Amino acid sequence: MKIGFIGLGNMGAPMAANLVKAGHEVTGFDVAGVTVEGVVKAMTAAEAATGKDAVITMLPNGEILRRVYDEIVPAGLAGAAFIDCSTVDVDSARAVAEQAAAAGLLPVDAPVSGGVGGAAAGTLTFMAGGSEEAFAKAQPLFEVMGQKAVHCGASGNGQAAKICNNMILGVTMIATCEAFALADKLGLDRQAMFDVVSTSSGYSWSMNAYCPAPGIGPQSPADNGYKPGFAATLMLKDLRLSQQAAVSAGAQTPMGARAAEIYERFVEIDEDARDFSAILPWLSEGAG
């Protein structure tokens, strides 16, 4: 395919590179002037989108997404897939999808899970919202950039799935870290706690796959000085999006709201911008 790729940051650049490696013709644009080997550089977002079979965006927030869509939708080729892989608010995702569909384009909101490592390895998971036709057109590109794509329903549902998933992650990571901090105070060995909880009803991804305690369980950012695998700032962004969506939908999410408050406080004092699992040393040191 001829593909336009807008937003060549830490996630977008390796995703675009994988499309090039798979034989696609990729034209890219980034406001920072980033270049990616094999990607033709465009001078504007509209230029990157002109005449393409698919246009992929990977942008920081809904406001920027709306602004970029105002530029690229008029340049879109009728029937082109417009795939937004940003993580943004549901309202913005649905607004740009409606804008693109009205122009004869095939919009898909497809936020990702897997981080920078998954983007480089081509093992991302895509949570996609949009029509069956739009999803089918985007599917071959998902297969290049990731290992799994789930069609979650109508436009905006990809974003809904992402923020619901990450709200669970934020809440369970805090609970896991609190439990380790409590175990420390009670004199319970961390390894013993892991051995019990990881095979009992306290089992969770936060405990079993991404344990926040150094030297316990599989390798995780905790074993690398909490260097971000998923930065606390990004978790805070997703939790804020979940609460924005909860207010908009009239949903009750008290644990999600409290998790957002805790991460907001943590991010304010954590000058090193550590991994979101660094809540554990913060609690253990009494700062929490």
For 92, 148, 213, 216, 231, the CA distances from 191, given in Å and listed in that order, are 44, 33, 9, 6, 25
How far is 287 from 106, CA to CA, in rounded Å? 49
Sign of CA dihedral 57, 63, 66, 72: negative
Q: For 256-286, b where at least 16 C-beta lie within 10 A, e where not — what string?
A: bbebbebbeebbeebeeebbbbbbbbbbbee
Q: For 99-117, b where at least 16 C-beta lie within 10 A, e where not — what string?
A: bbbebebbbbbbbbbbbee
Q: Provide the 3-class DSSP secondary structure of residue 3.
A: strand
Structure tokens at 54: 């698919």
Q: Which of these is catalytic: 162, 185, 227, 237?
A: 162
How far is 50 from 48, CA to CA, in rounded Å? 6
Query: Does residue 162 have an active-site annotation?
Result: yes
Q: Which residues are catalytic?
A: 162
